[in-house]
Amino acid sequence: MQRQFQGLLIVFVTLIASLCWGQALDRILIPQLENYELDIQSTYREYQKIYYEKKSSLAELHAFEDIISVYVSQILEIYETLSLSGFGDLEVPRDIAARALVYRALIFLEKAPLNLEYYEKACYDYYRALAMFDNVDNIPALFKRLPSPILVGAHQFNRLIDVIDHKGSNLYAFSKVNLNLRNFKITTNLDIDGIEFIRMDCSLDKKKYTYYSAENRIKEAFKNVLMNDDQSSTFLALPEGSYFIRPKTRNSSSRYIYLSAIYVRANQQHNYIVEPLVDWFIMYESPSTKKPRFLDSDLKNLSDVDGNGKHQLKNRAFNNSDKSLEMEKFVALSQIVNSALKKVDSNLIFNLKDPWIRNKFSNTAAKIIYNHVESISYYNCWSLWMLSWIIAKEITQEFSPDTVVPTELIKLVYHVLKEL
């Protein structure tokens, strides 16, 4: 009995201690994070002043970059501490960490016209920020309202995505390539230092973008996988084009380069798997495309795929014409929009209290979503969140022009796209 009581006491004390520890972390670290974010914001403002007023003082600009980098690394360290310590809800620290990285990316973008490799540097920060939301359903910090508005030039912005849309078109010239190296053995015969990463000829307008960091990151990932005899991963920011890795000992006309070829389209995410293959290795994409399924019949038809480039729909058991099928899909999509409206705060979208307006809204949203989903852009979007942003902008333009895209509308579109 006494032993049981002691056991319970230990569990209770541990629980209280962990709660206190969590609260202590909460009380100390979150305000610290918020302070750092304010510092970053003011540094960014100062940086812009110096950049536009005294463009020649590169040393000063560099000093500001260093300062902001110190803040960013402090924030990332705290965020890492919190996530490793099992701190409950990571939403606030994650948002701050992502915003810090985007601020630094914006600073790099300011300087990029003077120093072209800064476009690439900005991409790495921007991608890291986006990656923080890869495995969570929370809306990325990019689309959320900022704690305080941000001044960029003469404009004031309340969301980072608006700033990126205003200033960051160069970021969209790049693509994120995730590399996942696996199945390599410590004994695999590869001369890591003897490989080079090369871009095939590309158009002149794309040539201004650099990919200096890619080769070193690839070599690092290879060294890690050979050292750990396990898996290793990295990501690259690459401008649109075709790339390959080749051993310095083989010439570029060797067919082997096709095994390590990477094909990059701008503003997309590509996931590549790297595995050993005989005396070299192969890099292949991990496909993630799914055809949207509007109707139950779409699922049923999975098992009788026809092939040969034939029209799948025309071979279906029910003899619907293309138009009525389109209508059927559209109705199904409207229903999905209506049920998604219950998942978000619809009062924050537009004034949808009137049933007629609400109905008109869901039809408009369904029509625009349908057009996107049925177009090539659906299979070439960065992520569902990014596509949600593009669609939400279009819906706003159609339904309530010249108003700010409501965050709840972005969430609504995301829920609909996830349903498909």
Residues lying near another protein in the complex (CB under 8 A) = 185, 187-188, 200, 202, 241-242, 255-256, 258-259, 261-265, 270, 272-273, 275-280, 282-291, 293, 302-303, 305-314, 374, 376-377, 379-380
Q: Which residue has the tokens 């007629």?
A: 356
Q: How far is the CB of 275 from another protein (least distance, A)?
A: 6
Distance CA 94, CA 39 (A): 17
Q: How far is the CB of 199 from another protein (least distance, A)?
A: 10
Residue closer to another protein by CB (options 154, 376) is: 376
Phi, psi of 144 (to 5 degrees): -90, 160
Residue closer to another protein by CB (options 14, 380) is: 380
Nearest Cα to Cα of residue 341 among 414, 254, 258: 414
Distance CA 67, CA 62 (A): 9
Residue closer to another protein by CB (options 224, 242) is: 242
Angle of CA points 206, 208, 210, to nearest 5°: 95
Q: Which residue has the tokens 């049981």?
A: 4
Nearest Cα to Cα of residue 258 among 236, 280, 238, 288: 280
Q: How far is the CB of 114 from another protein (least distance, A)?
A: 30
Q: How far is the CB of 233 from another protein (least distance, A)?
A: 15
Q: How far is the CB of 296 from another protein (least distance, A)?
A: 14
Amino acid at 13: V
Residue closer to another protein by CB (options 91, 306) is: 306
Residues ≥6 apart with Cβ < 8 Å to 118? 108, 109, 111, 112
Residue closer to another protein by CB (options 63, 186) is: 186
CA torsion angle for 178, 121, 387, 405 (degrees, to 10)? Answer: 150
Distance CA 245, CA 224 (A): 17
Q: Token digits for 92?
A: 């606030």
β strands within 3-153, DSSP E: 145-152
Find the radius of gyration of the CA atoms of the chain.
25
Q: How far is the CB of 223 from another protein (least distance, A)?
A: 19
Q: How far is CA 116 from the centre of its chain?
A: 23
Residue closer to another protein by CB (options 148, 303) is: 303
Residue closer to another protein by CB (options 270, 415) is: 270
Q: How far is the CB of 234 from another protein (least distance, A)?
A: 17
Collapsed DSSP state (helix, strand, coil) of residue 168: coil
Residue closer to another protein by CB (options 61, 386) is: 386
Q: How far is the CB of 343 from another protein (least distance, A)?
A: 23
